Amino acid sequence: MVVDHRPRALAILGVTQEEKEELMPHFVKFGEIEDLRDHDANSVVMTFKTRSEAENAANQGAKFKGRVLQISWYKPKTPSVTTEPEEEETKEEDSSKESGSFLAEEEEEEEDDDEDDEYESRSWRR
């Protein structure tokens, strides 16, 4: 069995407070609704039991009271997904900083060697 991790929630935009109450009976014919909540003053988030039910609702349920609703997939913001790549980038930056400071130390050592050379015979520089 394959687990479907695609969103099952629809954001329905541009509805009035009165229309919000009428959305449930309109969309229930497309599938089982697990959750219906206000997103803001003019939109709701409706979660269906399965992805296929949500797709049917999005495709066939857009016509409502003589107009077309704005429907999009609702994806809640999950910080765990966005923080992992940033942590990896931070590690890479740290290692480049460390290697950068190591290179700087090597250059300083080479400069020190040049100072020692001033007191040596210069026959090899000709």
If asked whether residues 13 and 68 sit together in one domain, one would say yes
Q: Helices marked H in the chain — which ranges?
A: 17-27, 51-60, 79-117
Examine the pLDDT at 52 and tell me if it is beyond 80. yes
User: Residue 78 carries which side chain, given as an amino acid letter?
Assistant: T
Token pair of 37, please?
């909540």
- Could you list the residue range(s) of the whole structural domain that residue 44 is in? 9-73
If asked whether residues 37 and 62 sit together in one domain, one would say yes
Number of domains in the chain: 2
DSSP secondary structure letters along 71-99: EEE-----HHHHHHHHHHHHHHHHHHHHH
Query: Quick one: DSSP state of residue 57?
Result: H
Assess contact for 24 and 41: CB atoms under 8 A: no
Last residue of a domain, one of 54, 73, 92: 73
What does the alpha-carbon distance between residue 49 and residue 61 come to, in Å, rounded to a whole number?
16
If asked whether residues 65 and 90 sit together in one domain, one would say no
Q: Pick 109 or 46 by higher pLDDT.
A: 46
If asked whether residues 31 and 83 sit together in one domain, one would say no
**Domain-embedded: residue 1:** no
Core vs surface per residue 2-20: b (16+ CB within 10 A) or e? eeeeebbbbbbeebeeebb
Q: What is the CATH number of the domain that holds 51?
A: 3.30.70.330
If asked whether residues 18 and 43 sit together in one domain, one would say yes
Question: 60-105 pLDDT, tens per residue?
Answer: 999 999 999 999 999 877 665 544 445 445 444 554 444 444 444 5
If asked whether residues 83 and 68 sit together in one domain, one would say no
Unique residue bearing structure tokens 């309109």: 26
